[in-house]
Amino acid sequence: MDFTVSTLGEPSVQSPISLSTIKGDKIFNFVSEAEKILLSVSLKAFNEHNGAPASLEKAGPRAHIFFDPTKSTAAIVTCGGLCPGINNVIRSLVMGLHYFYGVQRILGIPYGYEGLIPEYGHGFIDLVPDKVKDIHEFGGTILGSSRGGQNVSDMVDTLENNNIDILFAIGGDGTLKGANAIGEEIKKRGLKISVVGIPKTIDNDIDIIDKSFGFETAFDVASPIVKDAHNEATGAYNGISIVKLMGRDSGFIAASVAISIPVVNFVLIPEMKFDLQGDDGFLNALEARLDLKHHAVIVVAEGAGQDLFDKDQSEVKDASGNIQHSDIGLLLKDKIKDHFDSKDKRVVIKYIDPSYIIRSAPANASDSVFCNRLAYQALHGAMAGKTCFVVGVVNGQFVYLPIPAVTQKRKKIDLEGEFWFAALQSTGQPFVME
């Protein structure tokens, strides 16, 4: 895979940030284009590689930038579902552009990519430090959001007609693909507009990068909910609590909660296949748990067990083109009730779905730090004239990657990896339930 990040041209403007180029003077140094971060830290992978191993461009401020900050306009758009930390990213982008580089005109694009289509009539929002200084205290996004694609040519027309030099697109897989399409249309027209993606997905399913912002807050907020669900389960004889969490294609939130709150007895994720019936199926494992302890807590990711439904899921999609999942939590509740009714065993089942509460929460301290740093690294790359890239952390280092590198597939839990093994050890559930 080619990890070369596209540029708009030779950066020739001296950066207004007073940094150093000398090691040892106790002042942070500008990052040079020659600095690279290895994609893999495995010695085996390094030894097996023919030629230079795959490497990524290190993020950070450059000594020379492409845009003249006094003549530049930046715009910020947020798309897709809500996620903790969006306002933190918006705030840090505005503060960094204004105070680091002296960019005076920063526009907010309302309601996702719709805001780049004049017919919707959303207009623009002028973003200045005083307007955004406190927004990190709140969840959601002050710009609003939307799902679904818009006409790429019309969006680029809006950027060109409003003299926008940099577009920051904060969103997940669909948003990033849209940003790349905008960047390709800009290139086709020979325009000098930078398009930057800041990965936002609460599910942590963006490929290659270590994590996406909002993910840590999500399982942090979910953890006390699961703890309360445990109280519900233990408060009744044969009490069962089912908690459905986000995780359309990847079960990172559900598995992380199971590890962080060791009262979870079963965690079901999209990556695993499980049967309900049969000697080794889930229902028999649940029955054995109840016979032993008389209560159980089940955490299930929203995308788990979709093969258990009768309809063809590939035919039902949401506005973003994602497969619309059926409610696995309700299915489990019904199937568990039927199973124990057939055996004349009394159970008390509680089903809890806190998804909208979790995704609308403000970022916790760890995510707040992460959002701040992501935003700063994104604007450094943008001001240097890089385009069609995303900023992320790989092997603990902030890097720039071309958008197509992270949108080819979704990141998933490795069922043979240590992380999933840790979840299984925490729950004590069978390794296989099929």
* 359 annotated as a binding-site residue: yes
- Whole-number Å distance between alpha carbons of 368 and 356: 20
Strand partners, 350: 241
Determine the pLDDT at residue 2: 87
Determine the pLDDT at residue 320: 58
Find all residues with CB under 8 Å of 41, minimum gap 6, and list them. 395
Tens-digit pLDDT profile for the chain (434 aa)?
Answer: 889 999 999 999 999 999 999 999 999 999 999 999 999 998 888 888 777 889 999 999 999 999 999 999 999 999 999 999 999 999 999 999 999 999 999 999 999 999 999 999 999 999 999 999 999 999 999 999 999 889 999 999 999 999 999 999 999 999 999 999 999 999 999 999 999 999 999 999 999 999 999 999 999 999 999 999 999 999 999 999 999 999 999 999 999 999 999 999 999 999 999 999 999 999 999 999 999 999 999 999 999 999 999 866 556 666 656 677 899 999 999 999 999 999 999 999 999 999 999 999 999 999 999 999 999 999 999 999 999 999 999 999 999 999 999 999 999 999 999 999 999 999 999 999 99
Q: Please list the active-site residues.
A: 203
User: Are the C-beta atoms of 216 and 364 separated by less than 8 Å?
Assistant: yes
**pLDDT tens digits, residue range 211-247?**
999 999 999 999 999 999 999 999 999 999 999 999 9
Could you give the C-alpha distances from 428 to 175, 240, 291, 412, 431, in angstroms and in order? 38, 16, 15, 22, 9
Write the DSSP symbol of residue 280. T
**pLDDT tens digits, residue range 51-99?**
788 999 999 999 999 999 999 999 999 999 999 999 999 999 999 999 9
* 247 annotated as a binding-site residue: yes
What is the CB neighbour count within 10 angstroms for residue 37? 19
Write the DSSP symbol of residue 159. H
- Whole-number Å distance between alpha carbons of 169 and 8: 18
Strand partners, 268: 300
E strand or H helix at 342: helix 328-342
| β-strands 194-199, 64-65 pairing | unpaired
Residue 48 identity (one-letter amino acid): E
Determine the pLDDT at residue 317: 66
Burial class of residue 13 in the structure, from the number of CB atoms within 10 Å of its CB (0-12 exposed, 13-18 middle, 19+ buried): middle
Rounded (to 5) percent helix, strand, coil in the chain? 40, 20, 40
Determine the pLDDT at residue 65: 98
* 7 annotated as a binding-site residue: no
What's the whole-model pTM score? 0.95
Determine the pLDDT at residue 314: 53
The token pair at 254 is: 């559900």
Determine the pLDDT at residue 49: 78
Determine the pLDDT at residue 316: 67
Strand partners, 433: 274
3-state secondary structure of 49: coil
Determine the pLDDT at residue 51: 79
- Whole-number Å distance between alpha carbons of 92 and 375: 6
* 357 annotated as a binding-site residue: yes
Tokens 């296989």 locate to: 432
Q: Hey, which bits of 257-409 come out as E strands?
A: 266-268, 295-301, 348-352, 386-387, 389-394, 397-402
Interior/surface letters 347-372, b for 16+ CB within 10 angstroms, e for the rest: bebbbbbbbeebbebbbbeebbebbb
* 203 annotated as a binding-site residue: yes
* 302 annotated as a binding-site residue: yes
Q: Which domains does the chain have, with CATH numbers?
A: 6-212+362-407 (3.40.50.450), 215-360+415-427 (3.40.50.460)
* 246 annotated as a binding-site residue: yes
Determine the pLDDT at residue 400: 98
3-state secondary structure of 402: strand
φ, ψ (nearest 5 deg) of residue 167: -120, 120
The 295-301 sheet, strands edge to edge: 266-268, 295-301, 239-245, 348-352
Report angle CA 121, 127, 132 to the nearest 5 degrees.
120
User: Are the C-beta atoms of 196 and 169 separated by less than 8 Å?
Assistant: yes
E strand or H helix at 2: none
